[in-house]
Structure 1
Amino acid sequence: MSRALSRSLPLLLVLLASPARGQVWAPSATFPDRVQALSVDPSDPARIYAGTKVGVYATSDGGATWNPASSGLTQPDVRALAIDPVAPSVLYAGTKNGVFKSVDRAASWMPTAPVLDPDVRSLAVSPAGGWVLAGTKKGVSRSTDGGASWVPANAGLGNLEVRSLAADPNNPATVYAGTKQGVFKSVDGGLSWTAASSGLGGREVRALAVGPLDPSLVV
C-alpha cells in the first residue's frame, strides 16, 4: 500500500474483550482511533463506556455493539472517564480542554467549571459521593459540587503531573495518585497527600487500581 493511500484511510483500532476472565480474548469493536479510557457501570456491568481521541462510545450489551455518545462534547480527545458509583447515570470525561459531565448515561455532555489545568489526564469519584478529583499536568483539582466549581488539592503533592487516580472502593476517604515521581496517597479525600512510593524508585506511574476485595492491594 502506498504511503499516500495509507494516509487517506481512516485509522481503525480494535478493542478486545474477554468474557472468560482474561483466559480468552476476542475482538469486541473497531474504533476510528485509539481507546484511551474505559469505565464500567457498577449497576450494570454490560454497560461500558470507551473514551477515544474522537469522542465517547457506549455499549449496553457487554461490547457486542458500540454507539457514539459524544453529543455536546466539544473536545473529543477523551483521556479519562469516571462514573459516579452513587449515581451511575452521572459520568465525567477528562479531555484536553477540561472536564465534561453527563447526567444521562452519556446521551449528552456539558462542560464543568474550569479546572486547575485544562489538560486533564485522570479522574476519580468518591465511592460514597461527595467529591470528584481531576488529575492534570499541574496537580489535582477537587470538586464537592459535581463540577460546578473546582479548587486546587495539592497539599503535599506540589505541582506534579498526575497521570492516574484510583479511589479505594471500601474507604471513601482514601485515594491514590500516580505521578511522574511515583505514587502519592490521600486519606482525606484528596485534601492532602503523602508519598507512598517505597520500592518504586521514583518511577512514573500511569495507571493505578485498588483491589475491591482487598484494599491493601494497590497495583
Structure 2
Amino acid sequence: PGGGYELFVTTDNGISWNSLDIPNQIISLAADPLDPNRVYAGTKSGLYVSNDQGKQWDPVISDIERGVITGIGFSSDGKTMYAFSTLDGNGMIVKSKDGGNTMVKTQGQIIDARGIWNFAPGRDGEIYAIAAQQVASGIAMSVYSTHDEGNSWVLEGTNNSELALTNES
C-alpha cells in the first residue's frame, strides 16, 4: 500500500462523488465508530483528524505527529484507537483513549514490524493487526492478535515459513 493523493466522498449512496482536499498523501483511513462526522487519516507526515466528514483536516498533536502512520483502527467498543507510527525506520504500535491527543506506546510490539496496514476489532474484544515484517528472505505479511489491549501480540498466520516456525510455542 503506497497511499493515495485523492479522497472522494459520496452523500447519495455512490451516485455522485466529490473530491476532498487532503493534508498529505493518505496511507491509512479510519472512521470514528462513535462519531459519524469524525475521520482519521494516517499520512506520511503524521495523524490528521476531520470533524466534518473530511472537508477540513487538522493535525493531531501528539508524540507521533511527525511519524508516518501506516495503520489506524478502533476497538470493538470504539473507545480505543490503535495506530502504527514509524519515524526514521523505527516503528511502534500506539493507542489512544482520547481521540489521538495522547498516544501511548503499547507494552507489546510486533518484532521487526515495518508497517501495519490495518487494525480490526474481533467479537470478543481482541484486536487483529495485518503486519509487514522484515525477515531474512524479505518482507513477510502476517496477522497478529492481542487480547489485552496491546500488552502482547500473538502470531495468527503468516506467508513466511521461517517466521511461522520461530513463533511456534
* TM-score when normalising by structure 2: 0.74
Q: Deviation per CA, 1:103-151, whole angstroms, max 9, x where unpaired?
A: 2211221111241861111111123122111123403121111010112
Q: Deviation per CA, 1:68-90, whole angstroms, max 9, x where unpaired?
A: 223xx43x200111011222221
Unaligned runs of 5+ in 1: 1-34, 37-51, 204-219
Q: 4+ runs of 1 displaced by more than 4 Å?
A: none
Structure 2 match to 1:81? 29
Structure 2 match to 1:67? 18
Instruction: Letter of the 1:66 partner, please give it.
Output: W
Would you say the 8 A contact 1:115–1:151 is kept in 2?
no
Q: Deviation per CA, 1:29-82, whole angstroms, max 9, x where unpaired?
A: xxxxxx94xxxxxxxxxxxxxxx22x4221112332221223xx43x2001110
Structure 1 match to 2:73? 124
Cα 1:148–1:62 change in 2 (3 A) is same
Structure 1 match to 2:82? 133
Q: Deviation per CA, 1:157-211, whole angstroms, max 9, x where unpaired?
A: 23511232232253333332322242221112333212222665268xxxxxxxx
Cα 1:132–1:170 change in 2 (3 A) is same
Would you say the 8 A contact 1:140–1:162 is kept in 2?
no
Q: Which of the numbers 149, 152, 166 marks the counterpart of 1:189?
A: 149
Task: Indicate the structure with greater strand content.
Answer: 2
Percent of aligned pairs sharing the same letter: 23
Q: Does 1:150 align with 2:99?
A: no
Q: Report which structure shows greater RCO (CA 8 Å, sep ≥6).
A: 2
Structure 1 match to 2:8? 57
Cα 1:84–1:169 change in 2 (3 A) is farther
Would you say the 8 A contact 1:164–1:178 is kept in 2?
yes
Would you say the 8 A contact 2:20–2:55 is kept in 1?
yes
Q: Deviation per CA, 1:3-53, whole angstroms, max 9, x where unpaired?
A: xxxxxxxxxxxxxxxxxxxxxxxxxxxxxxxx94xxxxxxxxxxxxxxx22
Give the number of the structure whose alpha-carbon radius of gyration is greater: 1
Cα 1:200–1:108 change in 2 (3 A) is same
Unaligned runs of 5+ in 2: 134-139, 164-169
Would you say the 8 A contact 1:98–1:114 is kept in 2?
no
SS of structure 2 residue aligned to 1:197: strand
